[in-house]
């Protein structure tokens, strides 16, 4: 379970890419036009079963990927996650 933004912000070794479930899939699937839920659903279905989902999400957060589906989350979802974690940290300090 993610407890703090700093828990997510380390950049994992890029070796995780070797086990990515999306290797060989259409990259456009992961960068749909518009980032609404419907457009991202197919990519999220691939991420759901991906063995490196957490590393992928960490990478996206650590490298500030604003577009596309990474770690099963769209850009807007990752922004909301950051906000929630920052708010949690602010309240805890
Ligand atoms: S979590 Fe999704 S985008 Fe990330 S490597 Fe896995 S399948 Fe690809």
Q: What is the pLDDT of residues 4-58, one digit of tens each?
A: 777 777 777 888 999 999 999 999 999 988 767 788 999 999 999 999 999 999 9
- 28 CB burial (10 A radius; 0-12, 13-18, 19+): exposed
Q: Is the pLDDT of residue 3 over 70?
A: no
Q: For the residues 57-74, what does the mean pLDDT come to? A: 93
With contact defined as beta carbons under 8 Å apart, do 20 and 30 qualify? no
Ligand 1 cavity residues, CB under 6 Å = 20-22, 30, 46-47, 50, 52-53, 56, 69-72
First to last CA, the chain: 20
Among 12, 24, 47, which residue has the most ligand 1 atoms within 8 Å of its CB, making it the best to mutate? 47
Domains of the chain: which residue ranges?
36-93
């Amino acid at each position: 379970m993610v407890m703090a933004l700093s828990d997510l912000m380390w950049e994992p070794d890029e070796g995780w890419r070797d086990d990515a479930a999306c290797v060989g899939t259409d990259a456009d699937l992961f960068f749909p036009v518009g980032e609404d839920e419907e457009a991202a659903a197919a990519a999220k279905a691939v991420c759901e079963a991906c063995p490196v989902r957490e590393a992928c999400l960490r990478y996206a957060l650590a490298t500030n990927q604003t577009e596309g589906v990474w770690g099963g989350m769209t850009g807007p979802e990752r922004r909301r996650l950051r906000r929630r974690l920052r708010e949690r940290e602010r309240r805890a300090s």
